Amino acid sequence: MGDRSIGNPGWKLEATYASLPGDFFQELPPQTVREPELLLLNEGLAQDLGLDAAWLRSGEGLAVLAGNALPADSRPLAQAYCGHQFGHFTMLGDGRAILIGEQRDAQGSLWDLQYKGSGRTPYSRGGDGRAALKPMLREFLISEAMHGLGIPTTRSLAVVATGEEVLRQTGPEPGAVMLRVASSHLRVGTFQYAAAKGNAALSQALLGYAIARHYPACAAAKNPAEAFLEAVIQAQAGLIARWMLVGFIHGVMNTDNMTISGESIDYGPCAFMDAYYPQTVFSSIDHHGRYAYGNQPSIAQWNLARLAETLLPLLSEDEQKALALANASLRSFGDAYRAAWLAGMRGKLGLANAHGDDQALCDDFLEILLQQGRDFTNSFRDLSLWLQAGSCPEAALAPWFARWQERIASEGGRLEQVRARMARHNPRLIPRNHRVEEALEQAEAGNWQAWDHLLAHLRQPYGEAEVPPGLAEPVPEHLAAVYQTFCGT
Q: Please identify every residue annotated as catalytic.
A: 256
Query: Taking CB under 6 A as the rule, which mask of x and - marks residues 450-489 in contact with ligand AMP?
Result: -------------------------------------x-x
How many whole angstroms separate alpha carbon 225 and alpha carbon 223?
Answer: 6
**Strands, DSSP E only, in 228-384?**
248-249, 271-272
Beta carbon nearer to ligand AMP, 124 or 223: 124
Report the distance separating Cα 430 and Cα 459, nearest Å.
Answer: 10
Listed in sequence order, the DSSP H helices in 21-92 are 43-48, 53-57, 59-66
Assess 94 for contact with ligand AMP (CB under 6 A).
Answer: yes
What minimum distance in Å lies between the beta carbon of 256 and Mg ion? 5
Q: Applying CB under 6 A, does 26 fall inside the site for ligand AMP?
A: no
- Cβ(403)–Cβ(362) under 8 Å? no
Q: Specify whether the CB–CB gap between 439 and 141 falls below 8 A.
A: yes
Residue least distant from Mg ion (Cβ): 266
Which one among 61, 95, 431, 461 touches ligand AMP, defined by CB under 6 A? 95
Q: Pick from 383, 422, 145: which is nearest to 272 by CA?
A: 145
* Region of 44-52, 91-99, 145-153, 292-300 interacting with ligand AMP (CB under 6 A): 91-99
109: number of Cβ within 10 Å: 13
Q: Closer to Mg ion at the Cβ: 60 or 266? A: 266
Separation of alpha carbons 262 and 152, rounded Å: 7
Q: Which does 124 bind (CB under 5 to 8 A by kind): Mg ion, ligand AMP, none?
A: ligand AMP
Which range binds ligand AMP by CB under 6 A, 55-63, 122-130, 333-341, 385-393?
Answer: 122-130
Among 25, 67, 70, 96, binds ligand AMP (CB under 6 A): 96
76 binds, among ligand AMP, Mg ion, none (CB under 5 to 8 A by kind): none
Strand runs labelled E in 315-385 = none
Q: Which stretch binds ligand AMP (CB under 6 A): 88-96, 133-141, 295-303, 306-314?
A: 88-96
Residue number, 124 or 204, with CB nearest to ligand AMP: 124
Taking alpha carbons only, the member of 42, 29, 4 closest to residue 154 is: 42
94 binds, among Mg ion, ligand AMP, none (CB under 5 to 8 A by kind): ligand AMP
The CA-to-CA distance between both ends of the chain, in Å, stands at 31
Torsion angle of the four alpha carbons 458, 460, 466, 470, in this order, in degrees rounded to the nearest 10 = -10
Interface positions, 156-215, toward ligand AMP (CB under 6 A): none
Residue type, 270: C
Give the per-residue contact string, 245-264, with ligand AMP (x = CB under 6 A; - = no): -------x---xx-------
For residue 283, what are the β-bridge partners? 485
Contact 273, 293 (CB under 8 A): yes
- Which listed residue (48, 60, 263, 266) binds ligand AMP by CB under 6 A? 266
- The contact set with Mg ion (CB under 5 A) reads 257, 266
Total residues interacting with ligand AMP, rule: CB under 6 A = 18
Does the protein bind ligand AMP through residue 396 (CB under 6 A)? no
The beta-strand segments (E) located in 134-237 are 155-168, 171-182
Q: Which of 59, 38, 33 is nearest to 159 (CA)?
A: 38
Please give the residue ranges that form the binding site for ligand AMP (CB under 6 A): 92-97, 124, 127-130, 252, 256-257, 266, 268, 487, 489
